[in-house]
Copies of this chain bind each other. A is one copy, B any other.
Amino acid sequence: MASSLFKYSFTTRLHDIDAAGVVFFARIFYYAHDAYETFLNHHQQSIEKILQADFILPVSHTEADFKAPIFLNEEITIEIFFQNVKDNEFTLNYHFLDQSGRLKATALTQHVCLDSSTRTRKALPDSIRSLLF
């Protein structure tokens, strides 16, 4: 398998856990996006710089698969993988691993590149494209 673009670790908190005693399923997408923002920061392409530019990268499609429950105060590492890039969209994969390397969940975010004013598709700028390979 290709090597990951980035690794990001976090610890699950009291408020991440739901009434069933495990991380609420939808939290996975918050963690994934936190990893994505940290990845952008790492490459001096911060999310607030993007929001001030003439393009936006909204999520057009997303998925997650849950393989094992994630519990309170677990340290999880997300590995971000590049899946594919087209002229005006790209897809990232996220692997959620516990500290023994067990895969707890996977997620995917597909981002489209839109013009900030018109919200129509435009070509992905090189500043972003160059981060993905």
Q: Do residues B29 and A72 form an inter-chain contact, with CB atoms below 8 A?
A: no
Contact A37 B13 (CB under 8 A): yes
- A126 an interface residue at 8 Å Cβ cutoff? no
Number of copies of chain A assembled together: 4
Quick one: which of B13, B48, B73 contacts A33, CB cutoff 8 A? B13
Q: Bound state CA distance, A58 and B70, in angstroms?
A: 12
Is A84 interfacial (CB 8 A cutoff)? no
The contact size tier of chain A is 35 or more
Residue contact A56 to B20, C-beta cutoff 8 Å:
yes
Measured between C-beta atoms, what is the minimum distance from A15 to chain B in Å?
4
Q: For the complex, would chain A's binding face be called helix, strand, loop or mixed by DSSP majority?
A: mixed
The answer to whether the Cβ of A97 comes within 8 Å of any Cβ in the partner chain is no
- For A107, the closest partner residue in chain B by CB is B62
User: In the complex, which residues of chain B have a beta carbon less than 8 angstroms from the beta carbon of A25?
Assistant: 29, 33, 58-59, 62, 109
B20 touches A24 (CB 8 A): no
What's the minimum C-beta distance from A100 to chain B, rounded to whole angstroms?
A: 17
